[in-house]
C-alpha cells in the first residue's frame, strides 16, 4: 500500500497535479498548473533579498528590493489563488542591511501583499532564535528573530488554537497538578485578618477550585485574599473589588491552559547542511501545521529547498506539493521525503 493511501490520496489525485511530489522547475510557471482553491496551507521561506546564492538560479538576486518584491508578489498571488477560502498562507522572510540600515523588505512585501490581494494579515509570528550567528558588531545588536507572516483569505479560516504548542501546556499542567496546588493559599488564609467565618468560607471555596482543576473543568485559578494581595486596578466596584472587601477573598478561574503568544522559539540548524545553505527548522513547520491543518489536508511550498515542509507534512499525515528550481536541491528534497515515514502526532488525539 502507498504510504499516503489511507489519507484519501486517490480522491485527490484525479484533480490535483503534483500531489505528494517534489517537482523541479520555476514556481512562477508551475503554480499556474494548480487549480483554484485546492490547497489548505502554504508554508514557505522564499529566497531572501540578496542574502545567498542558490546555485545562480531563481529569485533573490534582483537588482533592487522593488524588483524582488514584484517577483515575490507574482508567486504570492498564485499561492492565494490556489488556497482554499478556509486556508492560510505563511511566508517567512528575512531582512537585509544596506549602508548600515535595514531595508524592511519583509514588511514592504506584507503591506503590498495585503493591499493587492485582499488577504488579511492575522499575525506576524516571531521566530526567536536562541542561537543566532555569533557576531560582535559593537554598534548594533545581533538580529535573532525573523517574521513569519500569517495571511488568511476569509474570517472562517481553519484554526486549531488548542494544538499550537500543546506539548508545553501538557508539561505545565502536569507540573501544576503535582505541586500541591493551593497549599500556599491555605497558609495565606490562616495568616490573613479574615474573620473565622470568612476563613472557613475561603477554605471551602479554595477546595472547590482545586477540585475543578483536578476534574479538568478549569485550567487553573488564582486566589486573592484581603490584606495580602493587591486589589485590581480599575474594574467596577460591584465585581472582584467588593468580593475582596466584603467576603475577604476572591477566586479568578482560568479556562485556557496558557496564553498562546505569537512567538515560536527554536534554534537555527547550527550545523550547515552540505546539501542546502538555508534549511529552516522542522519544529516551525510542525507548529504551523498543528495550528491550521488536519491530517489529510494539502500543504504547498513553492520554494521547498531541501524539502523540510514536505518532510514534516508527510510525517504528520498531510499531503504535500513542493517546487524547487535547483535540480540538485530538488534531488535532496525527494530523497529526504522518500526516507520519511508517516507518524501521526499523539497530541492530535489528546488535545
Ligand X SMILES: C[S@@+](CC[C@H](N)C(=O)[O-])C[C@H]1O[C@@H](n2cnc3c(N)ncnc32)[C@H](O)[C@@H]1O
Question: Would you tell me which residues interact with ligand X (CB under 6 A)?
Answer: 26-28, 45-47, 54, 57-59, 276, 278-280, 303, 305-306, 308, 323-326, 329
Closest CA to 279 of 246, 311, 314: 311
Question: In this complex, which beta carbon is closest to ligand X, that of residue 44 or of residue 250?
Answer: 44
Cβ closer to ligand X: 206 or 300?
Answer: 300
Toward ligand X, which CB reaches closer, 198 or 308? 308
For the bound state, the minimum distance from the C-beta of residue 82 to ligand X, rounded and expressed in Å, comes to 15
Nearer to ligand X, 16 or 285 (CB): 285
**CA 332 to chain CA mean position, Å:** 26
DSSP state letters, 45-81: -PPPTTS--STT-SSS--SSHHHHHHHHHHHHHHHHH
Residue with cell 473543568: 217
Q: How far apart are CA 61 and CA 56, in angstroms?
A: 9
Question: How many Å apart are CA 238 and CA 105, to the nearest integer?
Answer: 50
Residue of 303, 313, 309, 308 lying closest to 343 (CA atoms)? 313
Q: Decide: helix, strand or coil at residue 291.
A: helix
Residues of 5-19 as b/e, b for ≥16 C-beta within 10 angstroms? Answer: eebeeeebeeebebb
CB of 114 to ligand X, least distance (A): 22
Residue 347 CB, nearest approach to ligand X (Å)? 22
Give the nearer residue to ligand X in terms of CB position, either 150 or 199: 150
State the minimum distance, in angstroms, from the CB of residue 68 to ligand X. 11
Distances (CA, A) of 187 to 157, 183, 197, 206, 349: 47, 7, 16, 12, 39
Shortest separation between residue 279's beta carbon and ligand X, angstroms: 4
Mapped onto helix, strand or coil, the DSSP state of residue 294 is coil
Nearer residue to ligand X within complex by CB, 21 or 187: 21
Q: Of 153, 170, 148, 23, nearest to 94 (Cα)?
A: 148
Closest CB to ligand X among residues 24, 158: 24
**Min. distance of Cβ 96 from ligand X in angstroms?**
13
Q: How far is the CB of 210 from ligand X (least distance, A)?
A: 46
Beta-bridge mates of residue 263: 126
Q: What share of the chain is helix, strand, coil (3-state, %, to 5)?
A: 40, 20, 45
Q: Is the CB of 302 or the CB of 317 nearer to ligand X?
A: 302
Residue facing ligand X at closest CB distance: 58
Amino acid at each position: 500500500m502507498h504510504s499516503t493511501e489511507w489519507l484519501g490520496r486517490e480522491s485527490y489525485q484525479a484533480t490535483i497535479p503534483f500531489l505528494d511530489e517534489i517537482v523541479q522547475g520555476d514556481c512562477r510557471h508551475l503554480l499556474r498548473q494548480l487549480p483554484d482553491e485546492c490547497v489548505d496551507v502554504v508554508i514557505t521561506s522564499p529566497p531572501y533579498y540578496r542574502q545567498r546564492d542558490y546555485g545562480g538560479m531563481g529569485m533573490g538576486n534582483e537588482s533592487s528590493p522593488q524588483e524582488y518584491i514584484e517577483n515575490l508578489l507574482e508567486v504570492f498571488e498564485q499561492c492565494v489563488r490556489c488556497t482554499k477560502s478556509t486556508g492560510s498562507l505563511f511566508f517567512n522572510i528575512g531582512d537585509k542591511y544596506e549602508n548600515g540600515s535595514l531595508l524592511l523588505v519583509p514588511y514592504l512585501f506584507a503591506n503590498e501583499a495585503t493591499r493587492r490581494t485582499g488577504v488579511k494579515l492575522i499575525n506576524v509570528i516571531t521566530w526567536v532564535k536562541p542561537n543566532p550567528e555569533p557576531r560582535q558588531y559593537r554598534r548594533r545588536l545581533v538580529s535573532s528573530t525573523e517574521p513569519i507572516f500569517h495571511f488568511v483569505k476569509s474570517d472562517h479560516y481553519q484554526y486549531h488554537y488548542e494544538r499550537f504548542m500543546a506539548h508545553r501546556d501538557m508539561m505545565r499542567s502536569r507540573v501544576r497538578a503535582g505541586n500541591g496546588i493551593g497549599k500556599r493559599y491555605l497558609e495565606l488564609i490562616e495568616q490573613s485578618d479574615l474573620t473565622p467565618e470568612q476563613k472557613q468560607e475561603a477554605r471551602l471555596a479554595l477546595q472547590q477550585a482545586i477540585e475543578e482543576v483536578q476534574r479538568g473543568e478549569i485550567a487553573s485559578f488564582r486566589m486573592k485574599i484581603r490584606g495580602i494581595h493587591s486589589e485590581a486596578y480599575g474594574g467596577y466596584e460591584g465585581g472582584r473589588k467588593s468580593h475582596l472587601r466584603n467576603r475577604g477573598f476572591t477566586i479568578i478561574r482560568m479556562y485556557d491552559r496558557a496564553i498562546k503568544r505569537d512567538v515560536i522559539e527554536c534554534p537555527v540548524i547550527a550545523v550547515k547542511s552540505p546539501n542546502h545553505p538555508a534549511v529552516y527548522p522542522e519544529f516551525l513547520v510542525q507548529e504551523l501545521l498543528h495550528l491550521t491543518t488536519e491530517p489529510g489536508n494539502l500543504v504547498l511550498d513553492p520554494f521547498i529547498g531541501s524539502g523540510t515542509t514536505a518532510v514534516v507534512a508527510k510525517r504528520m499525515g498531510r499531503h504535500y506539493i513542493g517546487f524547487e528550481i535547483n535540480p540538485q536541491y530538488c534531488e535532496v528534497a525527494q530523497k529526504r521525503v522518500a526516507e520519511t515515514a508517516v507518524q501521526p502526532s499523539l497530541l492530535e488525539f489528546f488535545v
